[in-house]
Structure 1
């Protein structure tokens, strides 16, 4: 039995002629075709007359339009395929082309099915794009043209009119889609384009997120390395500073030892034995005061001085309290600002000082216990900076606060 169709070994589709097989091969790059005794289906819709070439296509038509009645006209249009005839025709076409290749051929826009073209333009496609889609999809159906547009929408020449030689003809147009099918198809195309765009945006967003994570990790690693290097540099710097201080102290100690040995040599004394016990520091005699009884410690001497001041002026409690507060002010000023000379120097002839402290017996003596000394013929009380003793000043402040706040101070 002669073959009624050509079957594609790659996808299984049935084709009516060698021309259809060639068009299919150009579109899909399939090359495995064989002759088949199975005819290509031709199911015609009883309602709208649309032909369907497969059961899948008829099911899709039913889903879109609701039409369920189809008439099978497969046997009416089925005809045997003569491959020899086609080969001879192809050879004649090839010979004709070779004979005419010496002359330049006129290029024109190919003819396409006008109904399909109008339907594509009605769906919003530019005319040039619609003609190109119909021509390269085989001018078979609206669905094939739309699929071609979707697959080639990024081509640079998508909106340019195709050109073919004058003798090239397009195949006979197939029945077009109904208006309802056109709307459904347009909606499907828009939905497919939207999904494709969303998928591309998601893919690009994932790529951007991966790049951001990679850059963030690199920045964190670079920052960590920089901090480690800075920490190591500071540690090395501190170590070098400590070593320098140690060498400086050792150098000073050696210099002091050499100076001491030189002085002993000049005085004719024997070199100092490092194992010999060092003599104890000389005992400094405490400065005598006019008070009849001297306590053994500085704090007891200050307490006794304040007690004597209050006993000597017990009839004027306000004057005694003013004297204590004034003395506390002098002590605080020196303790908090030891470098300020104005707080360490008091003019004895100052009227305010005399009225508050100088005229009271025991006031000047208390300042002398804090370290003040009379200078310039007794005109000033002065505390040298190098003799400021904060421990003594703190004891003086403690004794003054006790004298001021204790109501029984100096009573006994």
Structure 2
């Protein structure tokens, strides 16, 4: 296969033509070149159209710019290399120019003079000597900052670490005088002051952002608390309304029972049924707060109280066992109220020896849990309270009744 590039035997670089090989030799002093069948890559960035000659160069371009898509146009640009250097036409202007160029190229090449102190500072920062010298030379020995900026802009150049060479007849510009210690100290102080101000501005900006975030979170918490309190108020109103309705039905049921008993007594005495026309109008319903009738609403709180009375009556000779049962029930109810989403607190194994000793074997204990929403599961093996049946109002009432029963020494005496 015909050669399509020249490969440097010293560094392995691929070159497209004899001219590039000559330039490479002048810059690096490498002289070992051979013909290669491996073409010089032509990877073109699809974003900015920058050509890259190697995978390494494309990776550096991606790292610096973030562009990752390249089109391989190596086959389009690959040509068989000619090992003959072009001969200049001495009779033309181009030939004269080429002759002049060859004459300049034949001159002695030397390393340009640069500011020694700036060079030492760049080397102390970790830059290779060749890269530091090249940066100072091409930045005009202006300053350390200018040299660093030049390195950043040309970090992808293939010859970035090679020592620059200039014609021996060309006098390089005299380096600028080195700054005095006082000037260096003032410059360092200025840089530190600038960095301090920038840091203070950044801290102030971050503090403003944090303050805005605290205000936003505070508003959200206040709004959530307001919504929670509103929902609790509505729930309490609905509960009171339901209790009043239940009490009203209970009074009506008692009134009907009294009427039936009255009619039954008249029948046993042989009296005729009472004429509806002679029945006196019923007394107006007395307000709940002013009534003196010993009628209590048949609500769950009363039923829970009856279960606890029954439990204490059946163990009236063992106050310690009664108190332990009340405390165990309070623990079950408190765990569910604090962790309504935890299934382990809503499931009780009936065959558990500790549960049977404390609650299960006592009359009224399981009935109390059933009033709180627990139901038997798996053929009576477990007591289980489904998550959707958790009623915080009922659990709070149960906790209040248990606390009263524990703290009241006269509970269940009557």
Q: TM-score range by the shorter chain?
A: 0.3 to 0.5
Task: Please identify the structure whose Cα radius of gyration is greater.
Answer: 1
TM-score by length of 2: 0.33
TM-score by length of 1: 0.33
